[in-house]
Structure 1
Amino acid sequence: MLRNYELSPYTLAILPAELEGVNGASEVLEEEGNHYVRATPKTLVDRSCRYFGSSLKGRQDGTKDVCGITHKAPIVIDPTSGMYFFPTTSPQNSDCAWISHSHISSTKKMPDQRTLLTFTNGTAIQLPVSHGSILNQIQRTAQFRFQLNERLQAYQRVNHDRVAEHFS
């Protein structure tokens, strides 16, 4: 079991895990394998946000400012490497998992308000969340990604024009 872990572009999901003798643990799914970490999913996401210069709260506030999403807000951990994640429930809920938007291949409705989520590497997990809720989270994350990318590109164009003007 790991004590420290930073999410990376290879992270597929962070799932809450119940391990004997451990209060607050996560199973981190990566392209090449899984790890258990001695921290809750929310703590791992917050640590990774802080590694890239913000916090989970700061990233949630940013999402609100960009596209107005406040409930179960998707976040960007690092836009340059495409690290966009969404929570499966309220992040305050101990059952909340975080899913990487970039690695989702497909979803399938399952019985009992569950969803089968398949990642691009073929890994599949069942989430105790309705298919409609997962589809909504995927769509909201796509909307957020698009709007944030539009802002970043506009900012780059403006700065490029300023630099070009300065040297001409």
Structure 2
Amino acid sequence: MINNIYALAHEVTPLTMAVVADHGENGIPKTIVLEEQETFTVRDSPSKIIEDACKFFGSSLKGRQDGTRGICGITHKAPISIDPSCGMYFFPTASPSNPKCSWIAHSHVEQVNKGPYRQTEVIFKNGRTILLDVSFGSMLNQVQRTAQYRYLLDNRLKYVQRNNADVVAEPYP
């Protein structure tokens, strides 16, 4: 069941598929948050919602972007991991400072297709689709860069878990 619910704020979870920039009837910016089963309309910008999610998990958007840069060298439109333990990897469709920037959850993307007028259709694993004002090439690049980043970060986390499994923190004297 998909409802359009107005929310004052929204918490990003593993069920969040996309945080999409939109403009209301009066041209007032708003954000459409697509969850697996529901849709919310929020007044905050997409990047503010992502920033709040990063802070909830102990970092900031800038901190997550710096982490991406350190792991794989991506500096512009960097994908981020809001919480790698939950598989929450998101990528921006434009510069996060651009009010038209939307954020897409990598783990929910099934397919991307060329749309009309330099748009791209995103098909999610649950069958829902959205049409974004982003070129197909740019969107495909973002999906691939996020996959690369995800692979590298997941391998680092697995390495740390394997090699530190027996390490116990010692009390400071």
TM-score, with normalisation over the residues of structure 2? 0.90
Aligned positions of 1:1-40 closer than 5 A: 1-19=6-24, 24-40=29-45
Q: Which moved more, 1:27-36 or 1:10-19?
A: 10-19
Equivalent residue of 1:53, what SS?
Answer: coil
Which structure 1 residue ranges, 4+ long, deviate > 6 Å from structure 2?
A: none
CA distance in 1, matches of 2:131, 2:21: 13
SS, match of residue 104 in structure 2: strand
Whichever residue aligns with residue 81 of structure 2, its letter is V
Tell whether 2:140 aligns with 1:108: no
**Against the structure 1 CA distance between its residues 55 and 115, is the aligned structure 2 distance closer, same or farther, given a 3 Å change threshold?**
same
> Number of aligned pairs?
163
Shift of 1:25: 2.0
3-state secondary structure, aligned to 2:76: coil
| Separation (CA, whole Å) in 1 of partners of 2:29 and 2:159 | 41
Structure 2: state its 5+ residue gaps: 1-5, 169-173
Unaligned runs of 5+ in 1: 164-168
Q: Which range moved further: 149-158 or 21-30?
A: 21-30
2:77 corresponds to:
72
Q: Which residue of 2 aligns with 1:54?
A: 59
Report the Cα distance in structure 1 between the residues aligned to 2:85 and 2:8, rounded to whole angstroms.
26
Structure holding more helix per residue? 1
- Which digits, 9 at most, give the CA deviation of each residue in 1:10-65, with x for residues without a partner? 00100112235795421000100100012000000000000000010010001001
Q: Share of identical aligned residues, percent?
A: 50
